[in-house]
Chains A and B, each alone.
Chain A
Amino acid sequence: MILVSFLILVMLIGAVAACIFKDLLAAVIAAALVSLIAAILFYMLQAPDVAMAEAAIGAALTAAIFVIAIRRTKRYEE
């Protein structure tokens, strides 16, 4: 129970950080962290199939697509 609360707290911090970071690369990594912890939580809540989809799509593929987009545009938000 303490572990779940801690994970949710880290997830919230990551979500807020993804919103306020001006460095977009750091924001993407924070968003990927949210997805990764969501996958761990799905696994702990006994939904392993959702956890697999979340880890592969949310943490890996979406972050990669955002990084590609940042490489083609600007890294810092004004």
Chain B
Amino acid sequence: MRRVLSILLLLVLVVGISLSLAKIPFGVTKTKVGRHYVDQGVRETGATNIVTSVVLSYRGFDTLGEVTVLFISAVGLGAVLTGAAIGKKRKVRAASVILTTGCRLLFPLILTFGTYIFVHGHLTPGGGFQGGAIIASGFLLVYLGCRERRINRTASSVTESLGGLLFVIIGLLGITLGGYFLSNFLPKGVPNALLSAGIIPIIYIAIGFKVGSELASIIDNLIEES
């Protein structure tokens, strides 16, 4: 009896879902908002990278939530791991000459590339999250190649906090100057110029510093404390 009922329920679900899905045409743009972003995004936000204009201008509040999630996960990892290795002093075997030399040569280049990615986030593909991840992978290379070097924890946590604070302060300035949270109160400038798109490059630079220091401190916590 129960089996028959469940099969009946399943049939009703299948028929209902397939009937409602059959009404939706495939391959046709159903919403107007995507078309609007593509057509008017450059004019309304000043950013030639449409992904950035959606991420930081039309959906800026979502991005603040994402940054908060990353912050909470880094804080949670630090809280779990801090003090796990108190008193343990491991001997660090030095890396080979090839690894050390490669690390010394590549580390500044990786930092420069990551900075380029998040400074040009409103012009070319990429942005704060990608640039921050690239910078963190540079710090990972330091942990592999130059093993006696460590990142300064105070500096990384201060950078992280300042990046988050700058994001929120710009959002609050938007309320006072533009009327709503994260409104673009600076002049938009000429599209394709480095100093254009108002607050978007400033926020992306803040996010780049924040994500880079957060991911680097996650790696530092894992290597040092576990």
Q: Please report A residues at the B interface, Cβ cutoff 8 Å.
A: 48-49, 52-53, 56-57, 60-61, 64-65, 68-69, 72
Contacts and interface: CB of A to CB of B under 8 A. Distances in A.
B166 interface: no
A56 B126 CA distance: 12
B219 A65 contact: yes
B119 to A, nearest CB: 14
B222 A49 contact: no
Nearest to A53: B130
Most interface-central of B127, B130, B136, B140 (chain A CB within 10 A): B130
A61 B136 contact: yes
B138 to A, nearest CB: 10
Chain B at the A interface: SS class: helix
B125 interface: yes
Contact of B126 (A49, A60, A72): A49
Interface string B211-226: 0000100110011001
Interface of B: 51, 117, 125-127, 129-130, 133-134, 136-137, 140, 215, 218-219, 222-223, 226
B131 to A, nearest CB: 8
Contact of B140 (A48, A49, A64, A69): A64
Given A52-B130, A53-B133, A68-B226, A61 B219 contact: yes
B215 A49 contact: no
A28 to B, nearest CB: 14
A48 B136 CA distance: 19
28 contacts: A48-B126, A49-B51, A49-B126, A49-B130, A52-B117, A52-B125, A52-B126, A52-B134, A53-B133, A56-B133, A56-B134, A56-B136, A56-B137, A60-B137, A60-B140, A61-B133, A61-B136, A61-B137, A61-B215, A61-B219, A64-B140, A64-B219, A65-B218, A65-B219, A68-B222, A68-B223, A69-B222, A72-B226
